[in-house]
Structure 1
Amino acid sequence: MKIHTGEKPFECKDCGQRFFQNGHLKYHMRIHTSEKPFECKDCGHRFFENGHLKRHMSIHTDEKPYECKDCGQRFSVNGSLKNHMRIQCKGCGQRFFKNGHLKYHMRIRTGEKPFECKDCGQRFFQNGILKYHMRIHTGVKPLEYKDCGQRFFQNGHLKYHMRIHTGENPFEREDCGQRFFKNGHFKYHMRIHTGENPFECKDCGQRFFKNGHLKYHIRIHTGEKPSECKDCGQRFFQTGHLKYHMRIHTGEKPFECKGCGQRFFKNDHLKMHMRIHTGEKPFEFFSEW
């Protein structure tokens, strides 16, 4: 009944930890007293619990009571059997505790993406990733930063945003001293120093330092345009291109010139406009007489 009520009447006087049963308290007290009442008669090694002694005795007797039902291999310790029973990937030999973990691993190897977004057709390895993606379409942002009220799709995005307020940049490049608030940004920056472009297009051999850049590039070869405008049906390679296009329908012009108040669809358009005020002439015409 004590388990159901949550009552723990037996208290350790040394540290205050409480227990359901007096026997559990006795085992716990051996941590403080270092008492090891169970002794191996063969080598004199001592143990806190009788169960530990029994497992130890298998070293001397060569007894292996734990058997794998799949292959018949035997083990002296149950933990060794559990490690052996991990599910193995036949392709690379990596082992997993759960069949579900193996399934996710296999999808990475095969490229299988069984979970499809019904709104845009994008596919994913895991159902959980699809759920996060669906928030883009539904606009649900369950996580809120209390200081500024800004809301986010994922907990990771909230953590990154908090670093804007705190100024924390935990990832530092020793060579140049530049710091980053995301580990991913740090990794990409490292490739500037190393010149590494690990992602290669199999069709043309062009290489990229971001996997996302490769994905966009692949669409040039396949002609895939997964992002569709619901108003006119026009399709685009990238979501960013769709966002620019949607401003044609909505009339949104988020970029404003502080000098004259004129607004623009794209930041690039604002930059070009600013040259009117600054007098900057980046392209100079040369003529020969």
Structure 2
Amino acid sequence: MSHSGEKPFPCSECNKCFASLSNLKTHRMSHSGEKPFTCTECNKSFTRSSYLKTHQMIHSGKKPFPCSECNKSFTWSSSLKMHQNIHSGKKPFTCVDCGRSFIQLIHLKKHQLIHSGVKPFTCSECNKSFTHSSYLKYHQKSHSGKKPFPCTECNKSFTRSSHLKIHQTLHNGKKPFACIECGKCFREPSQLKRHQMIHSGKKPFTCTECNKSFSRSTYLKIHQISHSRKTTFAS
């Protein structure tokens, strides 16, 4: 290892340089595809022995990294660090397109598919595409007809557990979605979003006839009737 910061060992494939010959040899495996360190439990292979040791923690069941806030334990220190962001409120991964931040890098990458327009998961039944595999799985239930989440009160069934939870508020009277501006509560997040437009002043639904704007599409439709009536009377 060079203490001077020199990296005299270049890779002939990509010209990346390394401080030691052993690091260069390990790096070359990324080009050759060689993975000489194999897990005896599941036969998964790795380029480095350190990667194999880290992987083997999964099979051992050991979780040596506990969270001091909630005592939840993790296999890897990196997993603990990401978890601790939940307690600290830190969201270090920010989208350059819209400024939205995330706790984990994988969540940011999934979010960025919205901006890229890439929808790599396609339904084999109707060719509709989705940004995430989980969205595709939910969608496929509409073709299968499966509704694995039944309501214990009325036996109505739903394709998603989230839909069941919203439905159950009809029976228990709960309104878990509260407006931070005025404290008014709602059964569904969509109802809360519509309500919040009152405070924000946003009116995203615009009449093509007179450019008047409205906070809800239903208000726009009611307004458009006034134009159709004028046309009827004029004729």
Could you state the TM-score of these two structures normalised by the residue count of structure 1? 0.49
Task: Decide which structure has the larger Cα Rg and report it.
Answer: 1
Structure 1, gaps ≥5 residues long: 32-47, 53-77, 88-95, 106-125, 280-289
Q: Displacement of 1:252 after TM fit?
A: 4.0
Shift of the 8–201 alpha-carbon distance from structure 1 to 2, 3 Å rule, reads same
Partner of 1:177: 127
5 Å-filtered alignment, 1:139-158, equals 142-145=94-97, 150-154=98-102, 155=108, 156-158=110-112
- Counterpart check, 1:192 vs 2:146: no
Partner of 1:212: 162
Q: Displacement of 1:267 after TM fit?
A: 1.1
Q: Displacement of 1:172 after TM fit?
A: 1.7
How many residues are treated as equivalent by the alignment? 188
Identity %: 30
Cα distance in 2, alignment partners of residues 14 and 162 from structure 1: 31
- The structure 1 residue matched to 2:179, chosen from 224, 229, 233, is 229
- The structure 2 residue matched to 1:274, chosen from 220, 224, 230, is 224
User: Tell me, what secondary structure is at the counterpart of 2:219?
Assistant: helix
Shift of the 158–278 alpha-carbon distance from structure 1 to 2, 3 Å rule, reads farther
Partner amino acid for 2:167? H
Kindly indicate whether the alpha-carbon contact (under 8 Å) linking 2:63 and 2:73 is maintained by their aligned counterparts in 1.
Answer: no
Cα distance in 2, alignment partners of residues 159 and 26 from structure 1: 35
Q: Displacement of 1:5 after TM fit?
A: 3.1
Partner of 2:6: 7
Cα distance in 1, alignment partners of residues 196 and 11 from structure 2: 67
Kindly indicate whether the alpha-carbon contact (under 8 Å) linking 1:143 and 1:152 is maintained by their aligned counterparts in 2.
Answer: yes
Shift of the 84–14 alpha-carbon distance from structure 1 to 2, 3 Å rule, reads closer
Cα distance in 2, alignment partners of residues 151 and 26 from structure 1: 38
Shift of the 207–127 alpha-carbon distance from structure 1 to 2, 3 Å rule, reads farther
Partner amino acid for 1:212? S
Shift of the 267–141 alpha-carbon distance from structure 1 to 2, 3 Å rule, reads farther
Kindly indicate whether the alpha-carbon contact (under 8 Å) linking 2:113 and 2:131 is maintained by their aligned counterparts in 1.
Answer: no
Q: Displacement of 1:266 after TM fit?
A: 0.9
**Larger displacement relative to structure 2 (201-210 or 13-22):** 13-22
Q: Displacement of 1:104 after TM fit?
A: 7.5
Q: Displacement of 1:194 after TM fit?
A: 0.4
Partner of 2:232: none
Partner of 2:60: 86
User: Tell me, what secondary structure is at the counterpart of 1:151?
Assistant: coil
Partner of 1:161: 115
The CA deviation string for residues 18-50 of structure 1, in whole angstroms up to 9 with x for no partner, is: 66556x49988xx9xxxxxxxxxxxxxxxx9xx
Structure 2, gaps ≥5 residues long: 30-35, 38-51, 75-82, 103-107, 230-235
Cα distance in 1, alignment partners of residues 201 and 59 from structure 2: 61
Cα distance in 2, alignment partners of residues 86 and 274 from structure 1: 66
Cα distance in 2, alignment partners of residues 12 and 233 from structure 1: 62
